[in-house]
């Protein structure tokens, strides 16, 4: 296999472990903490997880290993979208497993959770694992979005585990995947299968976090990748001085990525979906906010700027949410066929005008025609509008242009450019932070297995400090859960973490954004650094540093 010089160098990088995991397997013991309860709906969650609810948090520390010696056959699954560092979770798991007992076996189920159901796996060895150390992507075994949630699936999974002598499953994924891990753990425990289930927190969106999980892996690398690109655009923008760049970034359910990129690059405008919802901002008000920045800068001769937009912002606009709900209802069932059979857009527009309320029609009318049509593209499997297909960066740039045309006070020039940074950040070479963090999560996951825990999330904390000071342990997944309405049913799910408007990262942004909106305050993070002083190479995110008061 041909490799680049950087790839060869990254193979040689030795990830840093938390201090207590550096003593050697024989010198790691467990310290148990308090019993836990779910963040909400305690009685309902406990009733659904009678075998795994209320377990104690644990931390690992130096001391004699008291775990029972036995051969372990562990299966690992990569679930959901890719995130930088996933390979190192697998490598850390493999290394800890082999350091404990050379006879231990690690199976990699291919293509995500479906690999477990289909009994499709590879057996890892040193030669294969070494090709993927400190590299991006999930191509070591592939990933998938199959959900493990039905009784039939659990039964098949248990049979596959029994067939191969599997003692534990590690699921590497986001909030939905780890919810599935908790349900699978409960099934395995309820049926006395002897199979443990451990989760690892992954998502570049950054919304799988809480007081225990300080960061999901991949967020650091992805936001550094996006921030480099945004910084490059800012430099170009400040050089040509003639374009307004509207940049959409990942984050449908929360704005952590947008906020981190704003803290890194100091753009003129950054929308925060959670603030939009809190203030019940309309599309018109958002467009006015951006137009104000454009006009103020134009008054100083600066007909250029940068706007960062989170992917899911339109879903947080109350009037737009109402519009989407009405469209979903209007095209439910056979009515969609009648709509799709209409000959042209004019006929479809008339159909729409008769189906929407007066309030929603007002919102629909102010949308550019291209965006109106995007609302009626292919539906998702549940017949709903696919909001992720809406080009919100083009929506707001067009609305801002219309606002400026109505302002007699505006005499500047306005030309918009559009970008969407998504897949660019999902499979980048992991930063040193993510390489270290992920390796630690995998190593730590095996320690949880060795000590007999199930239904736990691998947990590494104190992450704003050097790796030597990180704290490793585990947290029951049920601690993060509450009941939510999903597809017409109440289901137990891990609560998503939104941007906290009273949190230090947003407060810092809020204190500086008025200056950024009017002046050119751009900062240029540059490319991720893998070699050099720790103050540059091991730098954590601005979000985490501010949350820790640093």
| Catalytic residue set | 205
Quick one: how far is CA 218 from the chain centroid? 8
- Strands (DSSP E) found in 311-430: 416-421
Residue 150, class by beta-carbon neighbours within 10 Å (0-12 exposed, 13-18 middle, 19+ buried)? exposed
In the three-class reduction of DSSP (H, G, I as helix; E, B as strand; rest coil), residue 532 is classed as coil
Check: CB of residue 201 under 8 Å from CB of residue 483: no
Cβ contacts of residue 300 below 8 Å, gap of 6+? 518
H-helix or E-strand spanning residue 109: strand 105-109
Check: CB of residue 385 under 8 Å from CB of residue 324: yes
With vertex at residue 515, the alpha carbon angle to CA 513 and CA 519, rounded to the nearest 5 degrees, is 120
How far apart CA 370 and CA 395 sit, in angstroms, is 9
Question: Among positive and negative, which fits the CA dihedral 523, 527, 532, 533?
Answer: positive
Check: CB of residue 63 under 8 Å from CB of residue 27: yes
Q: What is the CA radius of gyration of the chain?
A: 25
Cβ contacts of residue 441 below 8 Å, gap of 6+? 89, 92, 200, 201, 217, 458, 460
- Give the phi and the psi of residue 465 in degrees, each rounded to 5: -95, 170
């Amino acid at each position: 296999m041909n490799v680049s010089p950087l790839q060869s160098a990254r193979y040689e990088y030795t990830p840093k472990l938390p201090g207590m995991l550096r003593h050697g397997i024989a010198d790691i013991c467990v310290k148990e903490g308090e019993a836990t309860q779910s963040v909400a709906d305690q009685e309902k969650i406990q009733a659904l997880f009678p075998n795994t609810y209320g377990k104690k948090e644990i931390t690992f520390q130096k001391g004699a290993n008291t775990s029972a010696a036995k051969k372990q056959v562990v299966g690992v699954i990569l679930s959901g979208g890719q995130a930088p560092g996933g390979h190192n979770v697998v490598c850390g798991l493999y290394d800890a497993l082999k350091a404990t007992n050379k006879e231990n076996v690690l199976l990699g189920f291919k293509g995500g959770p479906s690999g477990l159901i289909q009994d499709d796996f590879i057996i890892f060895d040193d030669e294969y694992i070494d090709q993927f150390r400190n590299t991006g992507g999930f191509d070591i075994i592939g990933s998938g979005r199959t959900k493990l949630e039905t009784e039939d699936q659990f039964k098949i999974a248990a049979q596959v585990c029994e067939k191969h002598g599997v003692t534990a499953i590690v699921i590497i994924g986001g909030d939905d995947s780890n919810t599935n891990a908790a349900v699978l753990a409960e099934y395995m425990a309820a049926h006395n299968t002897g199979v443990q289930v451990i989760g690892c927190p992954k998502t570049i969106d950054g919304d799988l976090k809480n007081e225990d999980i300080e960061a999901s892996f991949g967020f650091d690398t992805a936001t550094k990748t996006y921030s480099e690109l945004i910084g490059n655009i800012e430099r170009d923008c400040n050089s040509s001085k003639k374009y307004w760049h509207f940049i959409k970034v990942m984050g449908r359910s929360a704005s952590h990525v947008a906020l981190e990129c704003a803290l890194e690059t100091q753009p003129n405008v950054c929308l925060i979906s959670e603030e939009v919802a809190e203030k019940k901002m309309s599309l018109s008000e958002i467009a006015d906010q951006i137009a104000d920045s454009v006009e103020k800068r134009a008054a100083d001769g600066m007909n250029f700027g940068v706007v960062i937009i989170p992917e899911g912002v339109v879903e947080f606009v109350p009037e737009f949410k109402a519009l989407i709900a009405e469209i979903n209802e209007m095209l439910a069932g056979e009515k969609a066929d009648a709509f799709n059979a209409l000959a042209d857009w004019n006929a479809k527009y008339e159909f729409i005008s008769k189906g929407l309320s007066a309030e929603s029609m007002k919102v629909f009318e102010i949308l550019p025609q291209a965006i109106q049509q995007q609302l009626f593209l292919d539906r998702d499997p549940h017949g709903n509008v696919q909001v992720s297909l809406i080009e919100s960066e083009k929506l707001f740039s067009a609305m801002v242009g219309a606002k400026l045309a109505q302002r007699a006070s505006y005499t500047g020039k306005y030309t918009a450019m559009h970008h969407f940074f998504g897949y660019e950040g999902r499979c980048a070479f992991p930063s040193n932070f993510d390489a270290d963090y992920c390796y630690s999560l995998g190593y730590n996951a095996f320690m949880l297995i060795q000590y007999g825990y199930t239904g736990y999330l691998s947990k590494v904390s104190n992450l704003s400090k050097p790796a030597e000071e990180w704290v490793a342990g585990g947290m029951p997944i049920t601690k993060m859960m509450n009941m939510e309405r999903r597809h017409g049913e109440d289901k137990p799910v891990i609560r998503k973490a939104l941007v906290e408007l009273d949190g230090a990262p947003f407060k810092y942004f809020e204190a500086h954004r008025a200056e950024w909106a009017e002046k050119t305050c751009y900062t240029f993070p540059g490319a991720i650094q893998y070699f050099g002083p720790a103050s540059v190479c091991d730098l954590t995110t601005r979000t985490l540093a501010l949350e820790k008061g640093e």
